[in-house]
Amino acid sequence: MSVEKDFLNHGFVKITIEKNLLNSISNLIFNFLKKKLNYKKSDSLFFFNNFHNLINISKLNEIRLEIINFLSSNPEFKKKIYLLVKKNLDEIVGNELVIQKTLNLVIQLPKDESAILDLHADTWGGNSPFEIVVWLPLVNCFKTKSMFILDNNKNKKIINKLENEFKKGKSISTEKLFQRIKKNITWLDVKYGEVILFNPALPHGARKNLEKETRFSINCRFKGIFTPYGDKKIGEYFEPITLKPMSKLGLKYFNEKKI
């Protein structure tokens, strides 16, 4: 099955990516943390997997935000993320895109409840249904060290029911919702060197990491620049990453004429 058909069928697709480019992305974060923590060894995968042994959990969010600010202010980093999945974004989304301005980095230590991401769909919170999420692990992710998602092909009725309940404002906790559908979820098994592209209108989330390793993963949203926006607008939440010359001229014309 092609990537396009697989994505339409399931709502997500797993892609093997170019390892050298991925290594350069991983090394940016690794070198930042090595300097921060005065770490001397050179194995980034070992470092990320065992990060819980190197950091005080009380400092975790502070360091995570420092890394996010460092990466989000680096145009070359965003370009590398785009180039990793360019071919597939061209096929699934288009080739004139905006990218999330502030990328997200998840560092989920073993048994850390603060990193739990409750069951949700991004569109329930005002995101555009035209967005796509690139979920990039910097370590091997499996079982509770990963994230879960409801496969569109297997769970259309459940997904529609969850969304309708949310829209009607039914007062049921996300934990009760999860317990109700946990037999239907798919845990994503993603190795270093692979990436997940998924439709954020699908319910997804992350539970407590019950494995013995730390999860490092980056997530980033893309959408077609001329597709409808939700609550998160271009200039505020998104910025252009690819734009054709005629589109640049057209936008300039509209801005100058204030049409």
Round to whole Å and give the CA distance between 253 and 249.
6
> What band does 175 get if pLDDT is binned at 50, 70 and 90?
confident
Q: Is 80 exceeded by the pLDDT of residue 258?
A: no
Q: Rounded to two decimals, what is the model's pTM?
A: 0.93
Q: Is 80 exceeded by the pLDDT of residue 126?
A: yes
DSSP H/E element including 34: helix 19-37
Q: Which of 94, 126, 136 is nearest to 232 (CA)?
A: 126
- When pLDDT is averaged across residues 127-131 and rounded to a whole number, the result is 96
Each residue of 151-166: pLDDT tens digit? Answer: 999 988 998 888 888 7
Q: Which residue's structure tokens are 């073993």?
A: 110
Each residue of 73-90: pLDDT tens digit? Answer: 888 999 999 999 999 999
The domains found in the chain, sorted by start residue, are 3-257 (2.60.120.620)
Q: Which residue's structure tokens are 């990218």?
A: 99
> In 3-state terms, what secondary structure has residue 164?
helix
The edge-to-edge listing of strands for the beta sheet with 148-149 is 117-120, 204-206, 148-149, 186-187
Q: How far is CA 234 from CA 66, 78, 126, 162, 182, in A?
A: 24, 16, 14, 29, 35
Q: Is 60 exceeded by the pLDDT of residue 259?
A: no
Token output for 78: 């965003």
Round to whole Å and give the CA distance between 164 and 10.
20
Identify whether the C-beta of residue 122 lies closer than 8 Å to the C-beta of residue 130: no
